[in-house]
Structure 1
Amino acid sequence: MNEKIKMQIIPPHVGRFIKWGEEDFESFWEEVAVKAQDEIYWFRKWDKAFSWDEDIFKWYAGGITNICYNCVDYNIEKGRAGRAALIAESGETDEIKVVTYGQLLAMVMECASALRGIGVKKGDRVAIYIPTCIESVVAMLACARVGAIHVVIFAGFSGKAVADRLKLTGAKYILTQDEGTRRGKTIPLKKTIDQSLKIYPGEIKKVVVLRKNKNKEMTLMKGQDIYWEDFLKMGRGNSSAVEKMESNEPLFLLPTSGTTATPKVTVHNHGGYQIYIHAMGQWIYKLRESDVWFCTSDIGWIVGHSYNVYGPLLSGCTSILYNGTPDYPRRDMWWDIIERNKVTGLWVSPTGVRGLMKLGIEEARKHDLSSVERVFSAGEVLNPPAWQWLYEEVFGNKIPVIDHMWQTESAGPLIANPYGLSLLPIKPGSAAISVPGTKVDIVNEKSGHSMPAGEKGILIVKEPFPGLSPTLWEEHKRYLKEYWEKIPSTKSYYSGDAAYKDDDGYIWFVGRSDEVIKIAAHRVGTIEIENALMSHPAVVESGVSGVPDELKGQVACAFVVLKSGFEPSEELKKELLLHVRENMGPFVVIRGIEFVNMLPKTRSGKIMRRVMKAIWTKKDMGDISTIEEEASVNEIIDAIKRMQKCN
């Protein structure tokens, strides 16, 4: 830790805590686990907190635990049976369900018995293709309870994307739903599963179908498909007991979100995972038993796993599950949920914030949001204009709005402001500092040398931490190659994210490493140009990509979404080009700007800049199974045609 930061920004007690985690991470994380035993129970204490032998690291080896027990049973033992564990709201149907910890335990036990009843055993992979709701969370917890490995697949993926994930994980059982809805349109989920099994039949033993529309009959495959109610009946007489899991046995598999082509299947284990997300829940989010926590993510993503489900339940608080969009059927859906439930902590992606901006401040001002104590955002950089809108206009400068960074691989926050320990000064556009117990640096991608303040490089993590995925499913060599051998001179975890440190040690992300644009001798992050564009009052969102240029090597091309009330024009394009030049300097060369209605994004809200670049260079777009709206690709194709025609 830079002494300057410690003295000027970080309170002494927090500085000492961070320094301990950097200098002796093994004893640090052992003590963290010991002190967390009030919330995380171990049937048997670990033999060794950390080991790293033959390129395989382990956390709390020999320790016996089970995250389901700690999320549900242990809360009952602490007298929380009558407390609301989950509030599930559907924007599509207006249905609201509240489940207490006592009720949740009964549902999980019933589902665990049913899983054993259909033959699920410890180590089996169980795919869950159900939207965010009570039943999908129960399924996750029940899998964990019996020692099965859950594979949650976002309930919006196509048959091909589902087939790919079934094949990658070797799932033998599928839990799905007959149908869902999105903006009032029926989504045939079971039909999608049927399509996926034609592409990849695999060795699927059972497909369990949760019926939401009981008025519609459906065709079931004899011997394979069963309804949810029959599934539960098959559990009668079977044990619902907790499977005692060694700390390093897998809890779940989750493919990465696909911004960088082919998904990698990350593995997260019972022991290290729960210690890490519980610690981050305390140190970053300040989760406590009295919280009503609203994380707007979907359970199909790592954020949904960690802070819709496991993190809040480990802390004994109430977690809101929302299935739907923020603007359907009403434009104030999220604000209404916050007011009615007296939400205290809000987690929303930058894409979500920009979407709320587009809907207008008047939607927020219809509601009493005074219960909210803090707001967190991650997934991409929370652009300063979006931060300013949320902090100043929505919440009136009264509560912290905190940007931070993490990955599917990290399970929880990696770079963040430690709000739960002590709130540091907020710098809009920066994710702040490395979280306690991690040791990061910004280095030159080729030499591995540490970069001075203000110089861009790659974020690395020098030592493993308990939340870090220890391998890729059945691809350990690929795991080592992709993450630990990327920079030969260092044995460090390669994040793939380009960033720089400022003089205070705060970290500023500028894009993925392959998205940094090299204009002549200058390295410019796509996010830096996007921030400059978004600082113009007409722009609500922008996506920037580097494209080849004969003279300068690379230049930028930009796609802009306008705020309501602004119209595309050649004059506005010129104004935006001048605005970027004035904000960043003349060295930032933009080939062209085109206006679009939407940007290509993953279902988790990340801008797919590689898709924009691939279209420009006429190369294969790679895996786009995670894309939110396929129509966005056509918009970029048309925009690039216009741009190239002008040039």
Structure 2
Amino acid sequence: MNKLQIRSLEQYHENYAQSVSDPEAFWGNVANEFQWMKKWDRVLEWNFTEPNIQWFKGARLNITQNMLDRNAAIRGDKTALIWEPNDPHEKSLTYTYSELLEKVCVFANALKAIGIKKGDRVCIYMPMIPELTVAVIACARIGAIHSVVFAGFSANALADRIEDAQAKLVITADGLNRGAKQIPLKRVVDEALEHVACVEKVIVCDCLNWKPSMKAGRDIWWKDVVEGQAIACDPEPMDAEDPLFILYTSGSTGKPKGVVHTCGGYMVYTAYSFQNVYQYEEADVFWCTADVGWITGHSYIVYGPLLCGATTVMFEGIPTYPDAGRFWQVIDKYGVNQFLTAPTAIRSLMAFGEDHVLSYSLDSLKIIGTVGEPINEEAWNWYHVHVGKGRCPVVDNWWQTETGGIMISGIGNISPQKPTFAGYPLPGIQPVLLNQEGKEIEGADEEGYLCIKFPWPSILRTTYGDHERCRVTYFSHYNGYYFTGDGAKRDEQGMYRIIGRVDDVINVSGHRFGTAEIENAINMNKLVIESAVVGYPHPVKGQSIYAFVVCEHEIPKENQDLARGEIMESVVAEIGKIAIPEKIQFVSGLPKTRSGKIMRRILRKIAEGDVKNLGDTSTLLDPFVVDEIVEHAIK
């Protein structure tokens, strides 16, 4: 992939101009760097009305051939995957490209042996262990569609995702390590499957040497299913537009959306974006601290790096265990050259002071990145000075589950640096700012709704089982545009700053939650009649969740903490701990229009403490409810 690497700012501008003037020639040239079983008949057919987007139409490939087989042939002894355990005193593991190919083939054969075939959906609910990577790639090897669910979601949330995908198989582990805690994953899976009929088999990896309950005829240990399997497995020929995976993401309605990415376009774009944003060179070691349960882990732990023949680090633990120097210790241990983490992690580590980071040299670092949410200037400067030592560029990645890969970012040490600005669009990405009427806003220092007016190879193709939802969510707001749901600002250099969500989505520590999803969970509690949640600024998480809750009976002040605990338990049961509201205020009513619409704009202002700018409330059904909410707002 080095032939496709942008080497200068001048070359970036040349490539970008070409990608806009002749997208098919540009992406066809990029795609020629990969192995195809059959070349495409046409690079692109598309419309944003249905929407119907097809890249590399008629082409046949298998993404794992490009990740493993071709790399094993030319760099078989090179380390592909480094696994660093939760406990620094435990043994780390490394796999060469040849070793990883063999492990994937063995597990792919095991999947076929239990009846998994092309097009079947496989739910993966696992710790950050090497077997997770193996399972993901093995599914792709045989054409099964993987759906990785973050192993922090509750049994109910897991069941919803399994049911929606109609998964035949769940792959999990007995438990997982997360800092000082151990979490029983198999027990969560068992609870989820009490409500699901589609699952035929469960494969369980022995991670903690526990002895979970195993259901006869359904559950099988990983070690047993791989025993005696052949070490070679022919890659399944896949159409470029065949689904590669489903990944569930929250939206503005209660039910998570199953975003579908396809084989050809996702392969081309994740490799291209990884190679250029991180300026990867042959001997480099790349580390992304995300979980594979999120899109960042898919694209920049597994697929992007391995497609480029990189050495990628997979980390089981958390940034503060056993102390706040853990990230920096791992960087020095492996000589990490490119490092990618979340602003939330940076802000949390800032709170521990500089001593933890100054104890390590970090001399190997060349590029440091952030992803998941906009980074504030204070955190950007701390990261640049103390981690990057003032010499490493900070590449601030903006993208989404739905985009598949990085869309707007700094490009290594080539593009200019500007704190809080993500940077330039990558070649092939055509962002615009729109006003409320849907007209494009020209010029510098302008703000608007961030939309994209032309498809890129890794754009989502549909939402699983509900294409109309895809159309309504992303393509119906402004005719002819993909709507990101974010607001943005563009400066005089053409660099973009992401301001934040403009729809009913809250971004907590880089994890998106629909307001309706959390409200549904709160409303499951027997005490609750109705609720409304909003996001408000948080110094570490970026945003936190503020819940306004109407109960069936007024709750005495001395019982409110107990009631809050019960409501939190409902959220944990329905979604998981990652969605617990930071603040829960009991109210007698919610600000509604006469047609019954909840005015979240007013609640957002109250949550932010900006009560002097609530606007006109006289037209509300009950204006006095606002005064009451303001009076008892939680500081």
TM-score (norm: length of structure 2): 0.80
Distance 1:426 1:444 in 2: 27
Distance 2:63 2:241 in 1: 12
Distance 1:557 1:159 in 2: 25
User: Does structure 2 conserve the Cα–Cα contact (< 8 Å) formed by 1:257 and 1:626?
Assistant: no
Listed as ranges, the matches of 1:169-208 within 5 Å are 169-199=165-195, 201-208=196-203
User: Does structure 2 conserve the Cα–Cα contact (< 8 Å) formed by 1:110 and 1:232?
Assistant: yes
Pairing 1:88–2:88 present = no
Distance 2:582 2:386 in 1: 33
The structure-2 alpha-carbon separation of the partners of 1:239 and 1:341, relative to structure 1 and needing over 3 Å to count, comes to closer
Listed as ranges, the matches of 1:240-259 within 5 Å are 240-257=233-250
After TM superposition, give the deviation of residue 57 of structure 1 in Å. 1.2
Pairing 1:411–2:411 present = no
Question: Match of 1:397?
Answer: 390
Question: Match of 1:520?
Answer: none
The structure-2 alpha-carbon separation of the partners of 1:515 and 1:278, relative to structure 1 and needing over 3 Å to count, comes to same
Distance 1:91 1:359 in 2: 20
Distance 2:279 2:427 in 1: 14
Question: Match of 1:448?
Answer: 439
Distance 1:618 1:46 in 2: 59
Pairing 1:607–2:543 present = yes
Question: Match of 2:309?
Answer: 316
Distance 2:450 2:333 in 1: 41
The percent identity for this pair of structures is: 34
- Determine helix, strand or coil for the equivalent of 1:405: coil
The amino acid that maps onto 1:329 is P
- Determine helix, strand or coil for the equivalent of 2:365: coil
Distance 2:395 2:150 in 1: 26
Identify the match of residue 204 of structure 2 among 191, 194, 209. Answer: 209
Distance 1:231 1:348 in 2: 35
After TM superposition, give the deviation of residue 144 of structure 1 in Å. 0.5
User: Does structure 2 conserve the Cα–Cα contact (< 8 Å) formed by 1:288 and 1:316?
Assistant: no
Identify the match of residue 62 of structure 2 among 59, 66, 69. Answer: 66
Question: Match of 1:45?
Answer: 39
Question: Match of 1:16?
Answer: 14
The structure-2 alpha-carbon separation of the partners of 1:408 and 1:446, relative to structure 1 and needing over 3 Å to count, comes to same
- Determine helix, strand or coil for the equivalent of 1:193: helix
- Determine helix, strand or coil for the equivalent of 1:326: coil
Q: How big is each residue's C-alpha offset from its partner over 1:408-452, in whole Å with a ceiling of 9 and x where there is no partner?
A: 011111111222xx6221110011121101111000133333254
User: Does structure 1 conserve the Cα–Cα contact (< 8 Å) formed by 2:105 and 2:231?
Assistant: no
User: Does structure 1 conserve the Cα–Cα contact (< 8 Å) formed by 2:61 and 2:239?
Assistant: yes
Worse-superposed segment, 616-625 or 98-107:
616-625
The amino acid that maps onto 2:360 is H
User: Does structure 1 conserve the Cα–Cα contact (< 8 Å) formed by 2:141 and 2:235?
Assistant: yes
Pairing 1:458–2:449 present = yes
Distance 1:133 1:452 in 2: 48
Distance 1:283 1:237 in 2: 37
User: Does structure 1 conserve the Cα–Cα contact (< 8 Å) formed by 2:163 and 2:198?
Assistant: no
The structure-2 alpha-carbon separation of the partners of 1:147 and 1:623, relative to structure 1 and needing over 3 Å to count, comes to farther
The structure-2 alpha-carbon separation of the partners of 1:309 and 1:369, relative to structure 1 and needing over 3 Å to count, comes to same
The amino acid that maps onto 1:358 is A
Identify the match of residue 346 of structure 1 among 333, 339, 343. Answer: 339
After TM superposition, give the deviation of residue 472 of structure 1 in Å. 1.1
User: Does structure 2 conserve the Cα–Cα contact (< 8 Å) formed by 1:116 and 1:238?
Assistant: no
Question: Match of 2:215?
Answer: 221
Question: Match of 1:633?
Answer: 582
The amino acid that maps onto 2:379 is A
Distance 2:231 2:133 in 1: 21
Pairing 1:148–2:180 present = no
Q: Which runs of 5 or more residues in structure 2 are unaligned?
A: 1-7, 509-514, 516-533, 553-566, 588-605, 608-627
User: Does structure 2 conserve the Cα–Cα contact (< 8 Å) formed by 1:347 and 1:377?
Assistant: yes
Question: Match of 1:387?
Answer: 380
Identify the match of residue 498 of structure 1 among 475, 487, 497. Answer: 487
Question: Match of 1:299?
Answer: 292
Worse-superposed segment, 288-297 or 623-632:
623-632
Question: Match of 2:632?
Answer: 645
Distance 2:198 2:254 in 1: 27
Distance 2:487 2:431 in 1: 13
Question: Match of 2:477?
Answer: 486
User: Does structure 1 conserve the Cα–Cα contact (< 8 Å) formed by 2:549 and 2:585?
Assistant: no
Distance 1:375 1:100 in 2: 25
After TM superposition, give the deviation of residue 27 of structure 1 in Å. 1.8
The amino acid that maps onto 1:308 is I
Listed as ranges, the matches of 1:133-144 within 5 Å are 133-144=129-140
Q: Which runs of 5 or more residues in structure 1 are unaligned?
A: 1-9, 517-525, 531-544, 546-555, 562-597, 600-605
Question: Match of 2:28?
Answer: 30
Distance 1:626 1:413 in 2: 27
Distance 1:646 1:321 in 2: 43
Question: Match of 2:522?
Answer: none
After TM superposition, give the deviation of residue 644 of structure 1 in Å. 3.8
Question: Match of 1:119?
Answer: 115
- Determine helix, strand or coil for the equivalent of 2:20: helix
The amino acid that maps onto 1:512 is R
User: Does structure 2 conserve the Cα–Cα contact (< 8 Å) formed by 1:21 and 1:436?
Assistant: yes
Distance 2:324 2:364 in 1: 21
The amino acid that maps onto 1:314 is L
Listed as ranges, the matches of 1:412-431 within 5 Å are 412-419=405-412, 423-431=414-422
The amino acid that maps onto 1:372 is L
Worse-superposed segment, 311-320 or 13-22:
13-22
The structure-2 alpha-carbon separation of the partners of 1:393 and 1:92, relative to structure 1 and needing over 3 Å to count, comes to closer
After TM superposition, give the deviation of residue 181 of structure 1 in Å. 2.3
User: Does structure 2 conserve the Cα–Cα contact (< 8 Å) formed by 1:443 and 1:459?
Assistant: yes
After TM superposition, give the deviation of residue 645 of structure 1 in Å. 3.1
Identify the match of residue 473 of structure 1 among 464, 476, 490. Answer: 464
The structure-2 alpha-carbon separation of the partners of 1:505 and 1:150, relative to structure 1 and needing over 3 Å to count, comes to same
The structure-2 alpha-carbon separation of the partners of 1:354 and 1:29, relative to structure 1 and needing over 3 Å to count, comes to same
The structure-2 alpha-carbon separation of the partners of 1:450 and 1:255, relative to structure 1 and needing over 3 Å to count, comes to same
TM-score (norm: length of structure 1): 0.79
The structure-2 alpha-carbon separation of the partners of 1:380 and 1:559, relative to structure 1 and needing over 3 Å to count, comes to closer
Q: How big is each residue's C-alpha offset from its partner over 1:85-125, in whole Å with a ceiling of 9 and x where there is no partner?
A: 11111124733111111111111111011000000000001
- Determine helix, strand or coil for the equivalent of 1:469: coil
The structure-2 alpha-carbon separation of the partners of 1:238 and 1:96, relative to structure 1 and needing over 3 Å to count, comes to closer
User: Does structure 2 conserve the Cα–Cα contact (< 8 Å) formed by 1:91 and 1:333?
Assistant: no
The amino acid that maps onto 1:505 is G
> When the two structures are aligned, how many residues end up with a matched partner?
546
The structure-2 alpha-carbon separation of the partners of 1:617 and 1:75, relative to structure 1 and needing over 3 Å to count, comes to farther
After TM superposition, give the deviation of residue 637 of structure 1 in Å. 7.8
The amino acid that maps onto 1:43 is M
Question: Match of 1:56?
Answer: 52
User: Does structure 2 conserve the Cα–Cα contact (< 8 Å) formed by 1:253 and 1:473?
Assistant: yes
The amino acid that maps onto 2:548 is I
- Determine helix, strand or coil for the equivalent of 1:495: strand
The amino acid that maps onto 2:476 is E
The amino acid that maps onto 1:183 is G
The structure-2 alpha-carbon separation of the partners of 1:623 and 1:497, relative to structure 1 and needing over 3 Å to count, comes to farther
After TM superposition, give the deviation of residue 455 of structure 1 in Å. 3.3
User: Does structure 2 conserve the Cα–Cα contact (< 8 Å) formed by 1:276 and 1:467?
Assistant: yes
- Determine helix, strand or coil for the equivalent of 1:85: strand
Question: Match of 1:278?
Answer: 271
The structure-2 alpha-carbon separation of the partners of 1:131 and 1:213, relative to structure 1 and needing over 3 Å to count, comes to closer
Distance 1:324 1:232 in 2: 27
- Determine helix, strand or coil for the equivalent of 1:49: strand
Distance 1:194 1:646 in 2: 40
Question: Match of 2:525?
Answer: none
